[in-house]
Chains A and B, each alone.
Chain A
Amino acid sequence: MIRFEGVHKWFKKLHVLNDIHLHVKQNETVVVCGPSGSGKSTLIRTINRLEPIDQGKLVVDGFDLTDRSFDINKLRAEIGFVFQQFNLYPHLTALKNITLAPIKVRGMARKEAEDLATALLERVGLAEKRNVYPAQLSGGQQQRVAIARGLAMKPKIMLFDEPTSALDPEMIGEVLAVMRHLAHTGMTLVVVTHEMGFAREVADRVVFMDHGAILEEATPDEFFLNPQHDRAKQFLKQILTPMHCEM
């Protein structure tokens, strides 16, 4: 479904993606983790070309992303993206946030789009919030609307970039529950997260990045119980000790 072959990217002199090889199969859930600044966001953003790559090959759903001649919007319509900062449209209600793309991109009839949005809101447990503006929702609720917005395009792939990092601890669970459910329905997921419980439970594979390179790619059990790389061990120690919750 997604195949990176020797992908490189630079921001000026910063080598932000360094020889990335990664293959995400259909229905797989891959969790990407690593220290801050290691290039996780950049990696996931290349998949729908929010960030173009400089070198190598990247094929997503049969489209070669280095090929500039195809209509990128066609591919983007098949990929849902959930951001750390939610990025809901503040001038639109929850419902309208969800119906915008199906109506404008897919050409769906308004009524049909609204029914779909209502069903999705129900699915993420926010049926009663359909006519509410984002500012009136909690962080966890906003993120669930954002997930529903991504799902409204009936995507083949969902990408999550630290979807719970901007949330208060008590709201993380509700968002993870929605994502867990998605993973079980067989959607192809790439999730950047430090929620190791989630990774352990639903990931088919965990990818560990540092300084723009993939240092480790393993099943959750292998990764958590027997990390190969020193950097990975160090990272896990930091993230799994309660110490990292210090004020």
Chain B
Amino acid sequence: MESGLDFTIVKDNLLYFMIGAYPEGKLGGIALTIYLAVAACFFSFWGGLILGLMNVARNKAIRYASGAFVNFVRGMPLLMVIFWCYFLVPGLFGQPVGETKTVIIALSLFTSAYMSQIVKAGIESIPKGQTEAARSSGLKLWQVMVFVILPQGLRNMIPSFVNQFVSLIKDTSLAFIVGVSELTHVATQINNRSFVYPTEIFIFIAVIYFILCYIFTEFSRWLERRLAWRKSI
């Protein structure tokens, strides 16, 4: 065996890395990782927003309920959340739910809990005078939230959102535990077939995760700039 790294194994399996067994079989690999991340990102954004709003609600019952949920989820390792969903969600729906959907639900629940705290902090970071001015003009509470507080708060939240979503991209790798053939799962499969090039394979997927996170971070920087209202002349 020659010394140095040999990436032929990656090259030979590139398509498999990219899309798994698709189109004969199920979609997998990088494509599935991206799918999981984007779907969970979407749901956890809205989930986090709703939970965050519940967290600052006037109604105590709503506040406590959402607070309890958030603390419960944050107190669990993600792996547990995935397992729980894996065993509980089909029962809830009364029919089998695909592993991929289960994982998206688990990731969304988990990330929503963290997102909600970002949303809460973002809302609370807006000076009280903003609410007072808006309320004084006769706007309803929800209008104050939608037209005055959230537009300012969400923009402040972007950097924290990005951190959370970057974690989310990496967290999708845990989906392999319930047999979802995303990137890590595919890598493990290929490695199990040959057993010769684990270093190359795992360097490759590390680079892929890095690139995915990097692209996402750059995208959100761009978004942040676009949403920025001019702070000074």
Contacts and interface: CB of A to CB of B under 8 A. Distances in A.
Interface of A: 48, 50, 73-74, 76-77, 79-81, 83, 85, 87-91, 100-101, 104-105, 133, 135-136, 146, 149-150, 153
B151 interface: yes
Given A76-B136, A89-B134, A133-B229, 5 more contacts: A50-B136, A80-B137, A101-B138, A136-B232, A150-B137
**Chain B residues touching A, range:** 20 to 34
Interface of B: 127, 129-130, 132-140, 143, 147-148, 151-152, 155, 229-233
Given A85-B129, A87-B133, A73 B232 contact: no
A105 B137 contact: yes
A87 B230 contact: no
Contacts of B130: 87, 89
Nearest to B152: A91
Contacts of A89: 130, 133-134, 148, 152
A24 B216 CA distance: 59
A87 B129 contact: yes
Contacts of A77: 137-138
Given A83-B133, A135-B231, A136-B230, A91 B151 contact: yes
A104 B146 CA distance: 11
Contacts of A136: 230, 232-233
Nearest to B231: A135
Nearest to A77: B138
A149 B132 contact: no
A147 to B, nearest CB: 12
A50 B132 contact: yes
B155 to A, nearest CB: 7
Contacts of B152: 89-91
Given A87-B130, A87-B132, A135 B232 contact: yes
Contacts of A100: 134, 137, 139, 147-148
Nearest to A88: B133
Top 9 A-B pairs ranked by shortest CB distance? A77-B138, A101-B137, A87-B133, A87-B129, A81-B136, A76-B138, A105-B138, A73-B138, A91-B151
A100 B146 CA distance: 12
28 contacts: A48-B136, A73-B139, A74-B138, A76-B135, A76-B138, A77-B137, A79-B136, A81-B132, A81-B133, A83-B129, A83-B133, A87-B129, A87-B132, A87-B133, A89-B152, A90-B152, A90-B229, A90-B231, A91-B151, A91-B229, A100-B137, A100-B147, A100-B148, A105-B137, A105-B138, A135-B231, A149-B137, A153-B137
A104 B136 contact: no
